[in-house]
Structure 1
């Protein structure tokens, strides 16, 4: 099995990918790249069994009628979201609220934060993937799944905070995180890329996304139940690991 992790930025710069090959209870980092364009991502998706992308793959269901109502001067669907509680339904998806309930982490809003820019690129990439490899369900039941490295790290007992940035404190935190990952996952061969990963939080997130993709492929994530299934199909679903790191290579 080969899994791909994508830490998607709004543009090629700072977009990172990591491919992990799995065999005989071991795993090896087979490919690691930074500043990756759409074409390489689509090609890698076609060559891997499962892809985990650190980016929303859809928008809140409530946002579409709200915007359509505003465009067409139809007050009813707009006034349904009067007040802060109503606007939260426009800003956060069902899976975002589920993730917060499970982990205490609040994902960035795909419609009301800078995360919207990578999400627009992600939508374009999904269309390109569909043209070459077939449409991929947004709930992760195909070969593409939405992942959240910070949440995966927390579930796996690591504090995924304070390592993003170019300062000395962030670099030290990232180095400690990678050391913790190596200690908890001795079966993972970084193939000489340790220094590159400690120098880039984007590359680190891509590795965590690839590890989470393995959990998705093995059906070892929290899947949407009947109450979440419909929203997951349209809005997307963040796959949170339901297993330990030790379970991944098995």
Structure 2
């Protein structure tokens, strides 16, 4: 991560607080009856808020493979001594949801996912999203032809590019933060997905956030 003051990491920063309590309970006892709703154990408060704001539901950190990423991320956060709410050096990112905040008009109806690999339609979708981002960033934003080609060719590169932009947004205080004491407390335990303010892209360049304040991760 070099000397970057702020990084955005595409991985969950924590686990649902009810899940933590459940697995910490008396051995052999599970706090739910078989027919009870399991949603609070499967997803965090921030996951539900992201779904409500963007229509995109994050993967479950307790029941999906993304749990492996979360475990690696926990070690990284420990090494950085960064709190889970994103107030330190690292902020939690969800690139797909961030794109929906910045480019809402490009996420209407049933459109091809940009995540599909080795697919011409997905590459075309990534080009459209990249063009939308660059249009908002304006002419002062520098990106090489090779970098644009990499973003169009790979969903991982597009996600990394969005993470870099989101790190700048977080450094410039242009992301949505927990708005209640309850959410603030939960964010320190569960993590908090930093969604960008909808009109923040061009302002990131206008504000001249120093180049060492964001880094792709």
Into which bin does the TM-score normalised by the smaller protein fall? Answer: 0.7 to 0.9
1:214 CA displacement: 1.1
2:202 aligns to what? 246
SS at match of 1:52: strand
1:84 CA displacement: 4.7
2:192 aligns to what? 237
CA contact (8 A) 1:221 1:243 kept: no
1:15 aligns to what? none
Is 1:88 the counterpart of 2:34? The answer is: no
CA contact (8 A) 1:145 1:216 kept: yes
State how many pairs are aligned: 196
SS at match of 2:17: coil
Alignment of 1:1-250 (within 5 A): 44=1, 46-69=2-25, 72-73=27-28, 75=29, 78-80=30-32, 82-85=34-37, 87-129=38-80, 135-158=81-104, 159=106, 162-164=113-115, 165-186=117-138, 187-192=140-145, 193-225=147-179, 226-244=181-199, 245-249=201-205, 250=207
SS at match of 1:79: coil
Q: Decide whether aligned partners of structure 1 residues 235 and 81 sit closer, same or farther in structure 2, where only a CA change above 3 A counts.
A: farther
**Structure 1 CA distance, aligned partners of 2:154 and 2:202?**
25
- Which shifted more, 224-233 or 180-189? 180-189
Q: Decide whether aligned partners of structure 1 residues 83 and 176 sit closer, same or farther in structure 2, where only a CA change above 3 A counts.
A: same
**Structure 1 CA distance, aligned partners of 2:133 and 2:33?**
43
**Structure 1 CA distance, aligned partners of 2:128 and 2:172?**
28
**Structure 2 CA distance, aligned partners of 1:120 and 1:111?**
11
Runs of 4+ in structure 1 displaced over 4 angstroms? none
What are the ranges of 5 or more consecutive residues in structure 1 without an aligned counterpart? 1-43, 130-134
- RCO greater where, 1 or 2, for CA within 8 Å and sep 6 or more? 2
CA contact (8 A) 2:77 2:90 kept: no
Q: Decide whether aligned partners of structure 1 residues 169 and 47 sit closer, same or farther in structure 2, where only a CA change above 3 A counts.
A: same
CA contact (8 A) 1:220 1:243 kept: no
**Structure 1 CA distance, aligned partners of 2:39 and 2:149?**
41
What are the ranges of 5 or more consecutive residues in structure 2 without an aligned counterpart? 208-217
CA contact (8 A) 1:103 1:154 kept: yes
Higher strand proportion: 1
1:127 CA displacement: 2.6
1:66 CA displacement: 1.4
Q: Decide whether aligned partners of structure 1 residues 63 and 215 sit closer, same or farther in structure 2, where only a CA change above 3 A counts.
A: same
